Amino acid sequence: MNDYLVKALAFDGTIRAYAVRSTETIGEVQRRHHIWPTTTAALGRTMTAGVMMGAMLKGDDKLTIKVEGKGPAGPMIVDSNAHGEVRGYVANPQTHFDLNAEGKLDVKRAVGTEGMLTVVKDLGLREFFTGQVPLVSGEIGDDFTEYFVVSEQVPSAVGLGVLVNPDNTVKAAGGFIIQVMPGATEETIAALEKRVSTVEPISKLIDRGLTPEEILNEVLGAENVEVLDRMDVSFSCNCSRERFGNAIIGLGEKEIQEMIDEEGQAEANCHFCLESYVYSKEDLEGFLHEIRSQS
């Protein structure tokens, strides 16, 4: 089954909901970076939230999420857009611990709790929108719930889960975001709170193989859900030889000349997909020529 996301309304349009299956997407990142289980869960949860937040955008809008909790896994960076594309990386991918007291991957220990969750949205305007909140748990789901309430003033429930096989591969990943819209009655909010508090953990829902639609039915009640849209989800990196070449040009004549004199070439590596781009002496000399022709 390919990864995909659904957008829905519930309770007569007063509740907005998103759910996603992200198993293959998180698995692709795990394979590329050889990530160990605890950190796979941490980054996978962040990317799963990120792709749903991207689905809240329009057109060519995009966003970047940074989770930095001062834990041993180090900072996590996730980019997503309105087209279901997401990418991400973690500073120290080979971070892993024994299961915690609840028998679960100890994401909190890997991420840390003394830091911030930051979301930067590029909405095509002159200035970016930036929202930031202190981490409240390091478990990621609770931290995004806090972000929506504090930074965007939208009461929300966020469920995120990543299951990892004994061989470090991703068994299943997915999540949901439920948001209360203006006009929701006290009765609706009370019913929603009851359902969210009694539903099975998201990790169990995805372990059962539930589709995004079925996840929303479990969380909200099938009789309450109206699915509006379905969107394919995938790992996607927009790095390119040209993009890194422009970055090298941006360093200026002095640094490019030093690359030529000291190494005779330059190599650029993408943090997200680990693609490597090598620029020969002739490439670098061409960059110099381009800079000088514009001055």
Instruction: Give all domains of the chain, ordered by start, each with its CATH number.
Output: 4-235 (3.55.30.10), 241-294 (3.90.1280.10)
Q: For 105-123, what is each residue's pLDDT tens digit?
A: 999 999 999 999 999 999 8
The reported pLDDT for the residue numbered 1 is 72
Q: How far is CA 291 from CA 245, 254, 258, 286, in A?
A: 12, 11, 15, 9
pTM for the model: 0.93
- Which strand (E) or helix (H) includes residue 54? helix 37-54
The reported pLDDT for the residue numbered 60 is 94
The reported pLDDT for the residue numbered 202 is 87
What is the distance of C-alpha 161 from the center of its chain?
13
3-state secondary structure (DSSP) of residue 36: coil
Q: For 142-196, what is each residue's pLDDT tens digit?
A: 999 999 999 999 999 999 999 999 999 999 999 999 999 998 999 999 988 888 8
The reported pLDDT for the residue numbered 127 is 85
The reported pLDDT for the residue numbered 207 is 86
